Every structure is written in C-alpha cells, then in structure tokens.
Amino acid sequence: MATRLAHFGIAVPAHAEVLHFWRDLLGLPLAGIEHVPGDGVSVAMLQLGAGSGCIELLQPDAGGENPVGRFLARRGPGLHHVALLVDDLVGLLARLAAAKVRLIDAAPRAGAHGTRVAFVHPASTGGVLVELVQAG
C-alpha cells in the first residue's frame, strides 16, 4: 500500500528558471541535483517539512527526446506526476496488474536517489501520472 507522499514532479525547461522561486523566495532547501540517465532528466530535489515529501524539478536532457521533454513540448511546464512511497513495490504492481490497471512499468526500475520506481498510466488514475517509489 502507499504509505505517504514521496514527491511532486514538476517539468521545467531549466532548473535555473524556477529555483529562484522555490528555493530563494519560498525557502525550500535544495537537497541536490542528480542526473538520471535512464530517464534523460536532471532532478533538482527540494525538501518540504519533515515527513511531507519533496518537490522534484525535472529538467530534460538536451534534445528533449524523453518523456519529460515530450511533456514540455506538448503541455509546457507544470505538474508532471505525483509520487507515492510504498513498502512493497513488486507486490503492489502485481495487485494492480491483476486488477487490470494500466501500468507503464510492469516491473520496478532504478529511480533517483537510489530508489526503485514504477509508473501507473494516467488512464487508470483519473488523469494523473502516478509514480510508485520504494526506498533503496
């Protein structure tokens, strides 16, 4: 089962364009920036209050030939996905598949910050891309 919010993913053309707002004006601490080559993005992670999750700013690699780049080309910057922390990602994926939920990832894959992740298609969630995250 989902235990709590892991993060919100926000697609941005460049971290520098929005870090001023999130970090400097709102005061959210920047935990770091990590490149995730498998997804073709750099992720700037901003910490919310204790136990409240994070905000991920998703900047696509040059060329934009990845899901975040295509999202930006179609919709522009904005909310890309909601991520939920789970204890048993493999078990949850099996339960969702058995319930005929449309999965983007049938098996966990490597995510940012040493996590394992899988995405659920918006067609099965009321229009929101959902990332399921299990700590590494």
Burial class of 57 by CB neighbour count within 10 A (0 to 12, 13 to 18, 19+): buried
* CA 14/CA 105 separation, integer angstroms: 26
Superfamily of domain 2-134: 2,3-Dihydroxybiphenyl 1,2-Dioxygenase, domain 1 (3.10.180.10)
Is the predicted pLDDT of residue 63 greater than 90, yes or no? no
Strand partners, 47: 54
**Per-residue pLDDT at 124:** 96
pLDDT in tens, 15-58: 999 999 999 999 999 999 999 988 899 999 999 987 788 999 99
> What type of residue is 88?
D
State pLDDT tens for residues 68-116.
999 999 999 999 999 999 999 999 999 999 999 999 999 999 988 899 9
Expressed in percent and rounded to 5, the helix, strand and coil fractions of the chain are 25, 40, 35
Question: What does the radius of gyration of the chain's CA atoms come to, in whole angstroms?
Answer: 15
Residue holding tokens 């696509």? Answer: 60
**Confidence at residue 62, expressed as pLDDT on a 0 to 100 scale:** 87
Query: What is the value of pTM for the model shown?
Result: 0.88
Mean pLDDT estimate for the chain: 93
Strands 78-86 and 41-47 turn out to be: unpaired
